[in-house]
Chains A and B, each alone.
Chain A
Amino acid sequence: MSTHLYAFGSICRGEIDASSDIDLLACLSAPKAGINPDRFSIYTHTRLRELWQQGNPFAWHLHLESRILFSSDGEDFVGELGRPNNYTHTASDCEKFRLLFSDSLTALRESSNSRTFNLSCMFLATRNFATCFALGEGKPTFSRYSPFELDSKFPISREDFEIFARARILSTRGYGPNLTDQDIERAMSSSPSIVLWMKRLALEYLSMGYCSD
């Protein structure tokens, strides 16, 4: 039984602020009880090999942005997996996140119920859309601000994007000040331009001659 612990994500990018968390990966040769799933993303070696084989974005994230903290056997399992296979699901993954954004915006417009959760989903959708698009283009970025790192200009300000990011932190960690009605209005006003941005990028991806997966 071997255990390898890694840090990954914002701490490895030096992207630190008051709301930063530390992402931890527990990588195990076999399932093991007693590791807190609230603190660690827990994966077996078998599962990680599959993700590498699939060229999954999480495999790329770990490949490019993880640092080993502990090894029970002196090995570096993630490091030794090497480069993941090419990522080939850009079109379908981007469509999945475009739909999530659109469904969440519809829910937000239809009801004042769970507005923070819906904004949180819109943040997840936007960031993951940008991450998958960038990976498909061979320019990976895993930052919380990945939409701003694409060649195609993201149509809203960082200040407005922060409202979505704050909703995400409230939803996933219960941390931070509650969003005001004004914050929510601002986020909703900027949303149609994000919908158009996603549509334009999806078309751009297909017109660049990439196949639809």
Chain B
Amino acid sequence: MIEFNNRIAAQRLILKAVNRIVWDEELFGLSKGAIDRWVSKNALRDDLELVLRIERAAEKLFFLSNKSQEQVTEEYQRLSADVAELTRSVEASVAQYAKHIGMGKVCSN
């Protein structure tokens, strides 16, 4: 139970960080389809560091979602720690990108 809800909470944190920037269209989720749409709607380069970091976080969360019914293993715990680290790296990338485009486009909430 905790694993499932924590995984959703981890996604919410990443999206919240990304969507602090006022995009032409916000990021709706961490699925491949949602990320591809967001990159396209906002005319972002797909090799942008922020995009790559979001994709890496999404891959880890996808792996964890496939393990949702598993026992908590060392591998699971390691990956959970990886996701926390990736969340921080996405937040750092967002801050950097916000600075690049000007603070006027960053939301406080």
A and B associate in one complex: yes
Asked if B51 is an interface residue, CB under 8 A from chain A, the answer is no
Stretch of A1-9, A115-123, A139-147, A151-159 that contacts chain B: A115-123
> How many residues of B are counted as interface, with CB atoms below 8 angstroms from the partner's CB atoms?
29
- Please, how many angstroms separate the alpha-carbon atoms of A37 and B1 in the complex? 24
Task: Report which of A37, A93, A95 forms a contact with B62, defined as CB distance below 8 A.
Answer: A37
Question: How large, as a class, is the contact surface on chain A?
Answer: 20 to 34
Do the beta carbons of B28 and A107 come within 8 Å of each other?
A: no
Asked if B35 is an interface residue, CB under 8 A from chain A, the answer is yes
Q: Which residues of B contact A (CB under 8 A)?
A: 1, 4-5, 8-9, 11-12, 15-16, 19-20, 25-29, 31-38, 62, 66, 69, 107, 109
Do the beta carbons of A174 and B28 come within 8 Å of each other?
A: yes
- Please, how many angstroms separate the alpha-carbon atoms of A104 and B8 in the complex? 10
- Please, how many angstroms separate the alpha-carbon atoms of A92 and B69 in the complex? 14
Do the beta carbons of B28 and A170 come within 8 Å of each other?
A: yes
Residues of B within 8 A of A116 (CB): 26, 28-29
Asked if A172 is an interface residue, CB under 8 A from chain B, the answer is yes
Do the beta carbons of B5 and A100 come within 8 Å of each other?
A: yes
Q: How far is the CB of B15 from chain A (nearest CB, A)?
A: 4
Do the beta carbons of A173 and B33 come within 8 Å of each other?
A: yes
Residue of B nearest to A119 (CB): B28
Residues of A within 8 A of B62 (CB): 37
Asked if A38 is an interface residue, CB under 8 A from chain B, the answer is yes
Most chain A CB within a 10 A radius of its CB, from B35, B62, B69: B69
